[in-house]
Every structure is written in structure tokens, then in C-alpha cells.
Amino acid sequence: MGSRNKKRIVLPSRPEPPTVERILEDVSRAHPSDPVFSVLRETSPDEKGGSGKTELERKYLLSRRFLELNEHLEGARGDLLLRREELQAVGEALDQSMKGVKGEAL
């Protein structure tokens, strides 16, 4: 009953995407200290004293390395869980064996 009485909310239409000219105008008006441009200009010297890699490249390589290490750790975690289960099973078998030996000794 109540759903028929509700008015539909009409959302405003989306704005038109900017034109290429507008984008170029925005880029040309951007201040040189704009974070987008400053990231592209930052460089760090490489180990050999060459031209160096941009800070952006360095961050990309670090993030790739992080993801590789994370995958490696996930695999190691799975291995450790399996080993833990095996050790628990062996521990339970050992407990049963010890109870059997104690029972025979009495």
C-alpha cells in the first residue's frame, strides 16, 4: 500500500564529459607544484650513479615486490598449516601410544 504513495525521485542527469580542449586548458593552468606533476619529475639516483629512476617507477617496483612477497607468504602459510595438522596428528598418536605403554606397565 505504502509503495504506491511514494513519489519517484528524479536524479539530475550526468554532466557531459570534458572536451579535449577543456582538458588541455586545465593541464596548462595547473601549478607546477601540482602533485600529479611533481611525482613525475621526482628522480632518485640508481646504484651505478646513472640517470636514475623516477620516484614513480621506484614505487611501482616496490609495490610489485610487495605483492610477490605477499604471494610467497601466503604459500608458506598454507605449508605451515599442513605441517601443523600433521604434527597434531602425530602428537595425538604419541599420546595414545604413551597411554598404552602406561596401561601395560600397571
pTM for the complete prediction? 0.40
56, 39 contact by CB (below 8 A): yes
* Residue with grid cell 601395560, as numbered in its chain: 104
| pLDDT tens digits, 1-46 | 555 667 788 888 889 999 999 988 988 888 877 877 766 655 545 4
- CA atoms of 83 and 89, how far apart (whole Å): 10
| pLDDT tens digits, 59-84 | 889 999 999 999 999 999 999 999 99
Amino acid at 97: S
Q: Within 13 Å, how many C-alpha atoms sit on residue 43's CB side?
A: 9
Take residue 10 and report the three cell numbers written for it. Answer: 528524479
- CA atoms of 94 and 106, how far apart (whole Å): 19
